[in-house]
A and B are shown apart, each in its own frame.
Chain A
């Protein structure tokens, strides 16, 4: 009972040329079994064409308490968006 299989995070590429997207997690003894289990658990209805698995302990995440310093600076930089600039219609598509 004390020997729990490690936790893996599962990422799947949908069928439309998209990036891999996180879909959930599962337990497996190793990477090979994690891929096999991911196939059975997360792609029973043609949800994907490619699977990535990564052991959860290898993921480094931002902490919720850092949300302000991490993400708020970009809020004041509206000029990073194309809609910031007024281009006359006469110029044509841009």
Chain B
């Protein structure tokens, strides 16, 4: 759900009778939990859906550095600064692992970058919200990374080998992110009245955007049905959202903070909380490009790409020159 609303073939899941012999063998492997590797035969729809999903996931990691990077120079202590720096560096790493996984499917890194910068490919809606105070950095780690973990842990079992391996690496590092966020929230929530207000305000602003990260309900979506059959999606959006709420509410209570939802109530029968849906009209508007920070985020990425061009070209020219010199010397 760093990848939201990834479109699949749009045709729904094929029955066994409709499958070609190759497709049937492919589906058998997936059903038997045998990983698919880049050189193996795969349906074109599987390849394309995965490129969309992994690409969107990678873009989210990269753009996700921006709201947090915003606070590196203003972290309250040197220790907090070093920790935040390490976390943002991890996000860059996660983006790289995922780009590499996508590239094994035959798309180039430059292609993916171009599609992000042109707006053709999306990144998670959550990163279009601003980080206004230091408590927001806590809320991002706790809620945003918490929601990410909820999605990524099952994806470690995804059917495509390189994606699964990237997820395993990422999950190992992600729990550091969530804990550092909660640590900030604990400090703020037990601090002065002003700090406590700041923590509550951060929770108020990030709660619903975090619920949106899972995407709208997809229980009737043909795209999701296909992705579930191919095991590139493991749980439905609603299942993940419910798990996230159930896990997070007690954590908010421990902090002494109030989840901004009057309808939040434990439901004994289903063994989970009842809660309000986020404002889906707002979600679609943010995805369309009208969130508070969409413009800033994309501009920052375009600036970094354009202003880094001379470095990329220069290093390549240097490498080519040295290689040519070596050949000449031999």
A residues within 8 Å of B by Cβ?
1-5, 7, 24-27, 29-30, 33, 40-41, 44-45, 61, 63-64
Contact = CB atoms under 8 A, between A and B. Distances in A.
B318 A29 contact: yes
Contacts, number: 51
A61 B110 contact: no
A30 B90 contact: no
B325 interface: no
Given A24-B100, A33-B315, A44-B90, A4 B109 contact: yes
A80 to B, nearest CB: 25
Interface in B70-111: 86, 89-90, 93, 96-97, 100, 103, 108-110
Interface of B: 37, 39-41, 86, 89-90, 93, 96-97, 100, 103, 108-110, 114, 165-166, 169, 173, 312-313, 315-316, 318-319, 322-323
14 contacts: A2-B110, A4-B109, A5-B312, A5-B315, A7-B103, A24-B169, A25-B100, A25-B103, A33-B315, A40-B93, A41-B93, A41-B96, A44-B89, A64-B40
Contacts of A63: 39
Contacts of A2: 110
Nearest to B108: A4
Given A24-B97, A41-B96, A44-B89, A29 B110 contact: no
B325 to A, nearest CB: 12
A27 B173 CA distance: 22
A45 B176 CA distance: 12
B313 A3 contact: yes
Given A1-B114, A33-B319, A45-B173, 9 more contacts: A1-B110, A4-B109, A4-B110, A5-B312, A24-B166, A26-B96, A30-B318, A44-B93, A64-B39
